[in-house]
């Protein structure tokens, strides 16, 4: 393990490893601390679904914009992983949301 590092990341799940990867692409050294195996916590127990932003209030602009930017990055990351021989099995799909009354139609 390196004796010097620019950033320490606690947690070796999808988010922690993604942060380390993005930092490395920028030439920033990072050390990921994980108490178990990488990806064995919450990341290993999920269905692998990247949730849509329909539940985020668009009036919370910063959160909404961050979520949208995150969604934009997934295809790029999937492509980079594929070039490295990793198949993330990423599939960009939409969502079907049903409205049962006029108020719900207006929300759509």
| pLDDT above 80 for 52 | no
Q: Tell which wins on pLDDT, 75 or 56.
A: 75
| pLDDT above 70 for 50 | no
Q: What is the pLDDT of residue 74?
A: 84
Per the CB < 8 A criterion, the answer to whether 107 and 91 are in contact is no
Per DSSP, the residues of 43-95 read HHHS------STTS-TTSHHHHHHHHHHHHHHHHHHHHHHHTT----------
Domains in the chain: boundaries: 1-46, 51-108
Average pLDDT over residues 91-96: 77
Q: What is the pLDDT of residue 89?
A: 81
């Amino acid at each position: 393990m390196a004796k010097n590092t620019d950033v320490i990341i606690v947690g070796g799940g999808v988010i922690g490893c993604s942060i380390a990867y993005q930092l490395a692409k920028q030439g920033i050294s990072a050390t990921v601390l994980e108490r178990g195996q990488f990806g064995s916590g919450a990341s290993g127990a999920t269905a692998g679904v990247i949730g849509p932003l329909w539940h985020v209030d668009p009036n919370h602009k910063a959160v909404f914009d961050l979520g949208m930017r995150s969604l934009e990055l997934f295809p790029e990351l999937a492509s980079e992983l594929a070039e490295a021989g990793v198949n993330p099995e990423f599939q960009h799909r939409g969502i079907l949301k049903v409205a049962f009354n006029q108020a719900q139609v207006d929300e759509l």
